[in-house]
Structure 1
Amino acid sequence: MVTHQNRFQPPVHGGQHIRRRNLLQQLQRLGPLRLTTIIAPAGYGKTSFAAQWYDSLRNQGANLVWLPLEVDDCDQSHLLVALLEALQDLQPGEGRGLDANSMPVATLLSVLVTRLRRIETPVTLFLDDYHFAQTDATESLLAKLLAAKDLTHVKFVLISRSAPRFPISALRLNGELKQIGVADLSFSETEAQEFFVGRAEKLTREQIGELNKRTEGWAVALQMVRVLVAESSNSASILESFDGSNAEMARYLSEQVFSSLPSDIQHFLVETASLPAISRTLAAAICGSPDAATLFNRLADHALPIAVLDAQGMWIRCHPVFNSFLKEEAIRVGIETQDILRKAARWFQTRDDCEAAVRHALLADDTALAAEIIETSGGWRRVYATTRGGTLLFQTLIAKAADINLSGYPLTTLGLCVISAKAGQLDAANHYLAIAERACTGQTLSRDLRVVRVLMSLYTDRWASTADLSALEDDLAYGSDVQLIHRALALNMLAYNFLIRTDLDRAIHYGQLAMRAFRDGGADFGAMHLYTHIGQAAFFSGDSASAEDAYRSLIAEAQSNIGEGSDLDAVGQVLLSEVLSMRGDHDAASSALSWALPHLERHDTWFDLLAAGFMAQQRVLRLNGNVLAAHAAIDSARATARRRGFERLTRLIDGERVTLLVATGDIEDAVRYAETSGFTTQAAYADAANNLSLNLRGCVPALLWARIYAARGDIARARDVFDRLRTQQALKPHVPRRIELDLLDIRLLQAEGRPDKAAACLSNLLLSQPIANYRAILQIEGADFTNALRRLATLMEIPAVISQRLAQVLDGPAMPTLANVTAANAAAASGINESGGLTERERGVMHLLSAGLSNKEIGRQLDLSDNTVKFHLRNIFAKLNVTTRTAAVTAGRNSGMLP
Structure 2
Amino acid sequence: MFIAILLPIGLIQPSFLNPTTLPTFGSESATLFSSSLRFAKPVEDVIHRSQSAFLLEQTVEMVTYQTRFQPPATGYFHISRRSLLQHLQRSGSRRLTTILAPAGYGKTSFAAQWHNLVKEHGEDSVWVPLDPADCDQGRFLLSLLDSLQIVVPEEGRGLDVSSMPVAALYSVLVTRLCRIEPLTLFLDDYHFAQTDAIEAIIAKLLAAAELSHVRFVLISRSAPRFPTSVLRLSGELRQIGVADLSFSDSEAQEFFDSAAKGLTHEQIARLNRRTEGWAVALQMVRVLVAENIDRTTILDSFDGNNAEMGRYLSEQVFSSLPEDMRRFLTETAALPAIGRALVAAISGRDDAVALFSRLGECALPIAVLDGQGTWVRYHPVFNSFLKEEAERVGIDAHAILRKAARWFEVRHDCDAAVRHALLAGDAGLAAEIIENAGGWRRVYTTTRGGALLFETLIAKAAEITLSRFPLTTLGLSVVSAKAGELDAANHYLVIAERACNSDELKRDFRVVRVLLSLYTDRWVTAGDLSALEADLVNENDMELIHRALALNMLSYNFLIRTDLERALHYGQLAMRAFRDGGADFGAMHLYTHIGQAAFFSGDSNGAADAYRCLITEAQENIGKGSDLDAVGQVLLSEVLSMRVEPDPGSAALSWALPHLERHDTWFDLLAAGFMAQQRVFRLNGDLLAADAAIDSARAAARRRGFDRLTKLIDGERATLLIAAGDVEEAARYADMSGFPMRGGDAEAANNLSVHLRGCVPALLWARIHAARGDVVRARSLLDRLVVQQASKPHIPRRIELGLLDIRLLLCEGRLDIAATRLSDLMLSLPVAEYRASIHIEGVEFSDSLRRLVVGMNVPAVVAQRLSRALECGGSSTRTVGSDGVPKSDGLTDRERSVMRLLSAGLSNKEIGRRLKLSDNTVKFHLRNIFSKLNVTTRTAAVMAGRDTGPLA
Per the normalisation by structure 1, the TM-score is 0.69
Conservation of the 8 A alpha-carbon contact between 1:278 and 1:316:
yes
Distance 2:652 2:405 in 1: 43
Quick check: 1:455 aligned with 2:515?
Answer: yes
Match of 1:435 among 495, 508, 512: 495
Distance 1:513 1:531 in 2: 12
- Residue 541 of structure 1 corresponds to which residue in structure 2? 601
- Residue 875 of structure 1 corresponds to which residue in structure 2? none
Quick check: 1:593 aligned with 2:593?
Answer: no
Offset, 1:656: 0.7
Quick check: 1:502 aligned with 2:562?
Answer: yes
Does the residue aligned with 1:697 lie in a helix, a strand or coil?
coil
Counterpart AA for 1:402: A
Quick check: 1:557 aligned with 2:632?
Answer: no
1:296-375 equivalent positions in 2, closer than 5 A: 296-310=356-370, 313-375=373-435
Counterpart AA for 1:253: S
- Residue 614 of structure 1 corresponds to which residue in structure 2? 674
Q: How many residues were matched structurally? A: 685
Does the residue aligned with 1:307 lie in a helix, a strand or coil?
strand
Match of 1:526 among 573, 583, 586: 586
Offset, 1:190: 4.1
Distance 1:771 1:312 in 2: 63
Offset, 1:253: 2.6
1:626-705 equivalent positions in 2, closer than 5 A: 626-705=686-765
Identity between Structure 1 and Structure 2 (%): 63
- Residue 308 of structure 2 corresponds to which residue in structure 1? 247
User: CA RMSD, aligned part only?
Assistant: 4.2
Deviates most, 662-671 or 319-328? 319-328
Counterpart AA for 2:832: A
Unaligned runs of 5+ in 1: 1-38, 48-73, 80-126, 200-211, 226-237, 835-899
Quick check: 1:191 aligned with 2:252?
Answer: no
Quickly say closer, same or farther: Cα 1:285–1:413, change in 2 above 3 A: same
- Residue 67 of structure 1 corresponds to which residue in structure 2? none
Quickly say closer, same or farther: Cα 1:659–1:833, change in 2 above 3 A: farther
Match of 1:395 among 455, 473, 481: 455
1:394-439 Cα distance to aligned partner (Å, 9 max, x none): 1111100001111111111111111111110000011111111221
Distance 2:512 2:250 in 1: 58
Conservation of the 8 A alpha-carbon contact between 2:7 and 2:25:
no
Conservation of the 8 A alpha-carbon contact between 2:311 and 2:381:
no
Conservation of the 8 A alpha-carbon contact between 1:783 and 1:815:
no
Does the residue aligned with 2:733 lie in a helix, a strand or coil?
helix
- Residue 515 of structure 1 corresponds to which residue in structure 2? 575
- Residue 801 of structure 2 corresponds to which residue in structure 1? 741
Quickly say closer, same or farther: Cα 1:144–1:372, change in 2 above 3 A: closer
Does the residue aligned with 1:473 lie in a helix, a strand or coil?
helix
Distance 1:313 1:447 in 2: 45
Quickly say closer, same or farther: Cα 1:217–1:756, change in 2 above 3 A: farther
Quickly say closer, same or farther: Cα 1:679–1:520, change in 2 above 3 A: same
Quickly say closer, same or farther: Cα 1:765–1:308, change in 2 above 3 A: farther
1:727-775 Cα distance to aligned partner (Å, 9 max, x none): 1111100000001111111111111111221111111111111122111
Counterpart AA for 2:671: A
Distance 2:276 2:470 in 1: 42
Deviates most, 450-459 or 557-566? 557-566
Does the residue aligned with 1:328 lie in a helix, a strand or coil?
helix
Quickly say closer, same or farther: Cα 1:461–1:265, change in 2 above 3 A: same
- Residue 426 of structure 1 corresponds to which residue in structure 2? 486
Match of 2:535 among 444, 464, 475: 475
Distance 2:241 2:451 in 1: 32
Distance 1:341 1:364 in 2: 5
Offset, 1:143: 6.0
Unaligned runs of 5+ in 2: 12-18, 46-62, 78-103, 109-128, 131-142, 152-184, 191-217, 222-239, 253-271, 286-301, 880-890, 896-923, 938-952
Does the residue aligned with 1:522 lie in a helix, a strand or coil?
coil
Counterpart AA for 2:569: H
- Residue 814 of structure 1 corresponds to which residue in structure 2? 876
Counterpart AA for 1:729: Q
Counterpart AA for 1:158: G
Quickly say closer, same or farther: Cα 1:196–1:399, change in 2 above 3 A: farther
Distance 2:33 2:765 in 1: 94
Does the residue aligned with 1:743 lie in a helix, a strand or coil?
helix
Conservation of the 8 A alpha-carbon contact between 1:341 and 1:360:
yes
Offset, 1:521: 1.7
Conservation of the 8 A alpha-carbon contact between 1:680 and 1:701:
yes
- Residue 350 of structure 2 corresponds to which residue in structure 1? 290
Offset, 1:325: 2.0
Distance 2:338 2:380 in 1: 14
Offset, 1:198: 14
Does the residue aligned with 2:395 lie in a helix, a strand or coil?
coil
Conservation of the 8 A alpha-carbon contact between 1:661 and 1:667:
yes
Does the residue aligned with 2:358 lie in a helix, a strand or coil?
helix
Conservation of the 8 A alpha-carbon contact between 2:417 and 2:430:
yes
Offset, 1:254: 2.7
Quick check: 1:275 aligned with 2:328?
Answer: no
Does the residue aligned with 2:665 lie in a helix, a strand or coil?
coil
- Residue 158 of structure 1 corresponds to which residue in structure 2? 75
Distance 1:181 1:681 in 2: 70
Does the residue aligned with 1:629 lie in a helix, a strand or coil?
helix
Q: Which structure has the bigger radius of gyration?
A: 1
Distance 1:632 1:179 in 2: 51
Counterpart AA for 2:747: D
Offset, 1:365: 0.7
Does the residue aligned with 1:797 lie in a helix, a strand or coil?
coil
Offset, 1:488: 1.4
1:665-703 Cα distance to aligned partner (Å, 9 max, x none): 111221121111111111122111111001000011111
- Residue 15 of structure 1 corresponds to which residue in structure 2? none
- Residue 85 of structure 2 corresponds to which residue in structure 1? none
Match of 2:552 among 486, 492, 496: 492
Offset, 1:299: 3.0
Conservation of the 8 A alpha-carbon contact between 1:43 and 1:218:
no
Quickly say closer, same or farther: Cα 1:299–1:443, change in 2 above 3 A: same
Conservation of the 8 A alpha-carbon contact between 1:224 and 1:248:
no
Conservation of the 8 A alpha-carbon contact between 2:339 and 2:376:
yes
Distance 2:683 2:625 in 1: 27
Offset, 1:706: 0.9
Conservation of the 8 A alpha-carbon contact between 1:511 and 1:533:
yes
Quick check: 1:755 aligned with 2:815?
Answer: yes
Quickly say closer, same or farther: Cα 1:314–1:808, change in 2 above 3 A: farther
Conservation of the 8 A alpha-carbon contact between 1:574 and 1:593:
yes
Does the residue aligned with 2:248 lie in a helix, a strand or coil?
helix
Quickly say closer, same or farther: Cα 1:221–1:570, change in 2 above 3 A: farther
Distance 2:337 2:715 in 1: 57
Offset, 1:172: 8.4
Conservation of the 8 A alpha-carbon contact between 1:713 and 1:833:
no
Does the residue aligned with 1:678 lie in a helix, a strand or coil?
coil
Distance 1:785 1:827 in 2: 17
- Residue 888 of structure 1 corresponds to which residue in structure 2? none
- Residue 182 of structure 2 corresponds to which residue in structure 1? none
Counterpart AA for 1:591: A
Match of 1:407 among 467, 484, 487: 467
Distance 1:348 1:141 in 2: 37
Counterpart AA for 2:593: H
Distance 1:75 1:317 in 2: 24
